Amino acid sequence: MSKAIMLAAALVAGLAPAALAQAPAGDRWTIIHAGAVLAVPGTPARAKTSLIVKNSLIQELKDGFVTADSIGAPAQAVTVVDLGDRYVLPGLIDSHVHITSERARDSELQRVKKTGENVALDGVVYARRTLDAGFTTVRDLGSRGAPALALRDAIRRGQVPGPRIVAAGQSISATGGHSDTNGFAPDVFPELGENICNGREQCRHAARNQIKRGADVIKITATGGVLSNTAAGTGRQMFDDEIEGVVEAAHAMGRKVAVHAHGADGVNAALRAGVDSIEHGTYLNDESIALFKKSGAYLVPTVLAGATVVRMADEEGFLPPAVRDKARQVGPLMLDMLGRAYRGGVKIAFGTDTGVSEHGNNAEEFALMVKAGIPADIAIRMGTVDAADLLDLSKQIGTLEPGKAADVIAVASDPTKDITELQRVLFVMSSGRVHKAAPAKVAAKP
């Protein structure tokens, strides 16, 4: 992305250009007084605990509410955050978003009208909304060109606020597949041609090309999809050798492979090829469950996307006819699929396909997971510990333990008793910096 895009993104985020060049300050210490803290989701919460944060990392957890002079840091470098009446837990992780786009009634027109610069600036807005909602890490699984990669890098550099992004670049698809330019003139999106592959060698090349351009993970679309404007169904669209070619190239270069798959034929082919996660999995069957357990791959269910497209289908003129019909078929099946997968022992990581739904509403997926029969405490673990494992970030995020990133959120009460509390996040810290808090909750330095 150009310097002009980065400067514009900074201005959208509310930063003065001079802020981009400020020299780093000395060590920063933050003491968070937590009424209750779920340090490791899936284990019991601790009452009245102090989280000691140094710069971007968690230093220690101590029983009770400690004072600034008890941690051996200069008083002027310590900030105390009073969350004594709040329930504190790790920052949430969404394993499937599209951070630079959001589905709307005029989405088809906007895809043609918006430049890469427009898309990048949309991403700045959506990234802030996502972080506001308590999601401190996301995996972006497919965007148009380079904007999501540039946004990832800008957030890493501290130029704009947003969640940590693990980015796939462009989704890889077969000709005419879910990530091709179906429904558009062939010259409308010339930059997307490099993500199309046919045969093992082309698909190896496509994966390597995305890695060359900066992808952290590789995304392929092995079956048809709901929102592609073609009546090609949701069955398999890539052959064994094509999926295997992507997996071979990606794994050889240290990248995991996420696979969009609705139909069981595509799900099972992808699992046999050794992919790392299946996105959606709507029509998975008993063979799929056995393959999941044999391979250790994760399911990322995106039930919120299913519920969202059903609502869109019911609004006159919102979706093209071919898309509307698929939405009405697929959406209602996803809750049942998730329940069967959970009962069958499939590893599940939280993911929403946000961008289909509105950015900032990601936590609605938790309530749907509970509706599918997953206990609230397990759903939270799937959105923290398990998602971190899928993203290969378990040493950095997913729990509130010493040495890990200080990604901390707080809600009013115990979300294991009312999962909808996660839709009302009151406090967000990302890598040790307070992003969102009630003013009275952050005390002045002594």
Chain centroid to CA 8 = 24
Name the average pLDDT for the chain. 88
* Alpha helix segments (H runs only) across 174-257: 200-212, 240-252
Write down the pLDDT at residue 328.
80
Residue 107 pLDDT: 60
List phi, psi (to 5°) of 182: -60, 135
Q: What value does the CA radius of gyration of the chain take, rounded to a whole number of Å?
A: 22
Give the model's pLDDT for residue 108.
64
Q: What is the pLDDT of residue 224?
A: 81
> Which DSSP category does 400 fall into?
-
Region(s) of the chain under CATH 2.30.40.10: 29-91+398-441
Rounded to 5 degrees, φ, ψ at 240 are: -55, -45
Return the percentage of the chain with pLDDT > 70, whole number.
83
Which pLDDT value is given to residue 238? 93
Q: Hey, is 212 helix, strand or coil?
A: helix
pLDDT for 11 equals 46
pLDDT score recorded for residue 169: 93
For residue 181, the model assigns a pLDDT of: 58
Q: Residue 32: which H helix or E strand, with range?
A: strand 29-37
The hierarchical CATH code for the domain 92-390 is 3.20.20.140
The pTM score is 0.89
pLDDT at 317: 73
Q: What percentage of the chain has pLDDT greater than the value 90?
A: 71
CATH architecture of structural domain 29-91+398-441 = Roll (2.30)
Instruction: List every span in the chain annotated with CATH 3.20.20.140.
Output: 92-390
pLDDT at 23: 36
pLDDT at residue 182 in the model? 52
Q: Which residues of the chain have pLDDT under 70?
A: 1-25, 104-113, 145, 176-193, 225-234, 438-446
**Amino acid code (one letter) for 42:** G
Give per-residue pLDDT as tens, 119-162. Answer: 889 999 999 999 999 999 999 998 876 899 999 999 999 999 99
Please state whether beta strands 257-261 and 277-280 pair in parallel, antiparallel, or not at all (unpaired): parallel
pLDDT at residue 16 in the model = 41
pLDDT of residue 233: 56
pLDDT at 113: 66
Separation of alpha carbons 383 and 18, rounded Å? 37
